[in-house]
Chains A and B, each alone.
Chain A
Amino acid sequence: MSAFLDSQGLATLGTRESDPAWLTALRQEASAGVVESGLPTGKTEAWRYTSVRALGNQSVAAAKTTSGNEAVAWATELLGDDGTLKLFLVNGVPVGDFASVAGLSVSSLADTLKDAPDTLQGRLGKIAHSEFFAGINSALFEDGLVLRVNAKYQGLPIHIVHVADGNASYPRLLVEVEPNGNISIVETYLSKPGQDDVCTAVTEVHLADGARLEHLRVMEGGDGSTHLGTLGVLQDRNSTYTSRSVAMGGKLSRLEIEARMAGPGAECNLDGMYHAIGSEHVAHHTLITHADSHGASTEEYRGLIDDRAHAVFDGIIIVDQGTKGTSAHQQNHNLLLSDTATVNTKPHLEIDSDDLSASHGATVGSVNPDHLFFLRARGIDENHARSILTFSFVRSILDRIEVEAVKERLIARLLSRLPYGDDIAELAK
């Protein structure tokens, strides 16, 4: 038994006297499941291309932070003023006070569990699954954030900044968008440079009738960082959920998204942009379930893979029996920038209905030589031409980000990671 999955460790660390009974049961079930399954190996389909063997020697003990202020100052400097309301978590623990605004309530998960645990029952741990790493989070999380947004909220986009400062963290987030609420939420996962940290994060989102959420989730770890994220989404009638996953940096960045369109007329859009360099590994696993009729889902992931990096896309759309008027379209496109880069892509539809319009497709290729020649034949340097074509391959995804200053920062970060990115600063404007 590896240190990471030491059953006793999980059991001890995962016991909180203050937990309500339903949470104790949830934690016990999650730890038992994790201990039984062990670390996932290549034999598990969803982990076939992503090795977590190296985590076997890591400790599960969460990093303790005496004061998060230094980490917050570092992250504030990095992100700049982006016109959002920022909420900071260091190692999964909220730092600072949250002012309440009309239509928005923000509270720490630990406080909510203490003061009003009933408001979490039936949601926390019920929207996202608790297998493997999500299960470790369920067993071990100590704190996190609870956000409730109602239709009165008209304020700034919310930016939840997670900073990993130490070896292991278990951020947990619950977002409730009440009927007809409408909000943009950005989650950025950062890790302090020069550390080998493992961030095991779970975000659960519930959209009530007519609610709308634009949810940008950025994985921007350091060279030694591992991010194992799980995102669960539950959608009621006529709600609109838009996820944009951006991955740039981190030794291993993996996100699992499970979106369940439980009410009729829901809309679910999953977009993603990844750029993997060096020996980075980035993986997206998505599952959209059309459990009711007249749902529309779109999915578009575009990636750039350079050096010896490895990208994985595994997308499943399930259309349940008896549903009508479904539209489901899924795409994944990859641009290989070196001979040693690797992509595994697996778009997949499971359809149990005949009243629908659906499509899926995936491409893996290198820079189109005809496009390259066209630019060069107009006098543009080969390197400059390559960076134009590389950037334009993914820019449509970034251009859709609604929070302007955040979009600009992410584009600037992409350019800083691309060879000859400086040459195309004007193109990116």
Chain B
Amino acid sequence: MLSIKNLHATADGKSILKGINLEVPAGEVHAIMGPNGSGKSTLSHVLAGRDGYEITEGEVIFDGESLLEKKPEDRARAGVFLAFQYPVELPGVSNVYFLKAALNAVRKSRGEDPLDAMDFMKLAREKAKLVELDDGLVKRAVNAGFSGGEKKRNEIFQMAMLEPKLAILDETDSGLDIDALATVSKGVNALRDEARSMLIITHYQRLLDYIEPDVVHVLVNGQIARTGDKDLAKELEANGYAEFTGRAVS
């Protein structure tokens, strides 16, 4: 599904990703853990196509095609979904309009007909239940006045609507209390599928108690320092990242 080979990236002339190699087969959930500044968020941004990064070496193959030349919207249409660490607020743009525009753009690229208002609302109500997002929030402006937890639930709701092949969850656990974490995780778990891959980016092991990964990678200083199973996350929780960085990191 996703194959990252020797990926190097810089931002403002500073080298951040320094040769990442990663294979995520279809249906697997991979966690990427690492200390602050290790390049976790950069990796998610580079995969989704955000401006401001220069790819100096390497390649990313997604679903048999090279990803890095594509525009962000074309990546989304091909099935890449990024759940934002900091979802933006868009006053004046209703969630319903936004999602319908997004879903129909994705459907169009797949050669499917656009959904009409009624079918769309039916689908939206069904998917909103996955993350317990009530009707009021579905109709409100995108994230405007939403709490931290509501914003993250809204991200997972969007993921449920767009049904991506690859979901990248960028520190989805940040800013969530334990109840919100459980709700969001439940939504994510409901979307696990043998045709869908997930890349869960997190600083803490806590999220992985709820969303159990198949593989855990430790990203340090722009490189994958170690790969293991879910027990590796527990080991990191107990010992911290000091082993990899040579200093104590919280």
Contacts and interface: CB of A to CB of B under 8 A. Distances in A.
Contacts of B106: 379
A376 interface: yes
15 contacts: A370-B88, A373-B72, A377-B49, A378-B76, A378-B158, A378-B162, A379-B102, A379-B103, A380-B101, A381-B73, A385-B73, A388-B101, A396-B91, A396-B92, A427-B101
A371 interface: yes
B86 to A, nearest CB: 8
B93 A379 contact: no
Contact of B105 (A373, A381, A393, A395): A381
Given A377-B75, A378-B162, A381-B73, 17 more contacts: A368-B88, A374-B84, A376-B72, A376-B73, A376-B76, A377-B82, A378-B98, A378-B102, A379-B73, A379-B105, A379-B106, A380-B73, A392-B90, A392-B92, A427-B93, A427-B97, A427-B101
A393 B49 CA distance: 25
A333 to B, nearest CB: 12
Contacts of B81: 377
Contacts, number: 79
B49 A379 contact: no
Interface in A381-396: 381-382, 384-385, 388-389, 391-393, 395-396
Contacts of A80: none
B129 interface: no
Interface in B6-31: none
B133 to A, nearest CB: 16
Interface residues of B, number: 32
Contacts of A389: 90, 93
Interface in A18-52: none
A374 B97 contact: no
Interface residues of A, number: 25
Nearest to B100: A426
B165 to A, nearest CB: 13
Contacts of B90: 371, 374, 388-389, 392
B71 A382 contact: yes
Interface of A: 368-371, 373-382, 384-385, 388-389, 391-393, 395-396, 426-427
A333 B60 CA distance: 41
B153 interface: no
Contacts of A380: 73, 98, 101-102, 105
B139 interface: no
Nearest to B50: A373
A426 B51 contact: no
A48 to B, nearest CB: 32
Interface of B: 48-51, 71-73, 75-77, 81-82, 84, 87-88, 90-94, 97-103, 105-106, 109, 158, 162
B91 A392 contact: yes
A373 B92 contact: no
A426 to B, nearest CB: 6
Nearest to B102: A378
Given A371-B90, A392-B93, A427-B93, A377 B76 contact: yes
Contact of B93 (A369, A370, A376, A388): A388
B10 to A, nearest CB: 18
A335 B71 CA distance: 24
B112 to A, nearest CB: 13
Nearest to B84: A374
Given A373-B50, A373-B51, A392-B92, A379 B97 contact: no
Contacts of B82: 377
Contacts of A395: 92
Contacts of A376: 49, 71-73, 76
B97 A426 contact: yes
B83 to A, nearest CB: 10
A374 B95 CA distance: 13
A362 to B, nearest CB: 18
A368 B90 CA distance: 11
